[in-house]
């Protein structure tokens, strides 16, 4: 019987490739690819007129925040993990600036995430949205209920308010004819439910501790505050993607600040 051939040592190139992608790097690549694929999927659906532009914009608004937040446990427990996660909104920010400023054109992207199909709109609501994502990751991260609740209210609450309000919102608010009672109700309910769901998710994974006998009442107050701010007729001055998360952060800090790690 022939003697077993000794294993050949790995080449320097193969060793470099094996070590070049660490766990945080891999998580960043996966989440970035997922975020890009989500937007491109709705780009295609909107371009083929399978999904209305207004609906596509808000579905992307909701899913982007929810999926990004749900991906945080993929990153390691190192102190630098939040910076790897922050790469995702940073790249999206750079992408919006590139197309919004007209360096390159992407009509499908513009149609899927803007109200009127103008590239300049990329520099407003969509850009504010990813900047808030970036701030929440860097400042709060996954061990703070403040960031989790703020992102839940911005993505789920504000997103469903528009989706439901456009379809069923015939009865407008007396002080803001651009908002409806049913849209505001959807904002409160969806924001509250998503906040509770995501708090449960991160609590189950051990990143935060939640005392539910107190948290439910606090979430109601946060959702009411966010809904009230979303109703105020100042969208021409302050975008909802700025006012809603800022108001949520403030109220959540006052109510949940002592529970943040």
pLDDT digits (tens, 9 = 90+) for 99-122: 889 888 877 777 777 777 788 888
CA 178 to each of CA 130, 175, 232, 238: distance values in angstroms, whole numbers, following the listed order = 24, 9, 10, 15
pLDDT the model gives residue 10:
43
Give yes or no for residue 11 having a pLDDT over 80. Answer: no
Q: Which residue has the tokens 């609590």?
A: 203
To the question of pTM greater than 0.85 for the whole model, the response is no
Q: What is the mean pLDDT of residues 67-88?
A: 91
**With bands split at pLDDT 50, 70 and 90, how would you rate the model's confidence at 21?**
very low
């Amino acid at each position: 019987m022939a003697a077993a051939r000794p294993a050949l040592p790995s080449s320097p190139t193969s060793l470099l490739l094996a070590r070049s992608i660490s766990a945080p790097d891999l998580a960043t690549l996966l989440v970035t690819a997922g975020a890009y694929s989500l937007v491109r999927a709705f780009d295609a659906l909107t371009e083929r007129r399978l999904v209305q532009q207004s609906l596509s914009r808000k579905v992307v608004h909701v899913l982007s925040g929810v999926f990004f937040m749900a991906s945080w446990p993929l990153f390691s427990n190192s102190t630098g993990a939040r910076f790897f996660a922050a790469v995702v909104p940073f790249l999206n920010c750079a992408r919006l600036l590139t197309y919004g400023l007209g360096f390159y054109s992407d009509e499908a992207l513009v149609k899927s995430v803007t109200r009127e199909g103008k590239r300049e709109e990329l520099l407003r609501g969509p850009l504010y949205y990813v900047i808030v994502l970036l701030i929440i990751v860097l400042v709060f991260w996954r061990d703070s209920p403040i960031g989790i609740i703020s992102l839940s209210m911005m993505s789920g609450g504000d997103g469903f308010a528009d989706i439901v309000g456009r379809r069923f919102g015939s009865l407008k608010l007396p002080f803001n004819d651009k908002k409806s009672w049913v849209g505001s109700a959807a904002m409160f309910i969806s924001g509250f439910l998503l906040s509770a769901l995501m708090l449960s998710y991160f609590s189950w994974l051990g990143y935060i501790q939640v005392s539910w006998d107190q948290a439910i009442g606090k979430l109601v107050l946060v959702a009411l505050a966010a809904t009230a701010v979303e109703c105020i007729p100042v969208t021409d001055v302050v975008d909802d993607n700025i006012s809603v998360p800022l108001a949520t952060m403030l109220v959540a800090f006052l109510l949940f600040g002592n529970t943040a790690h």
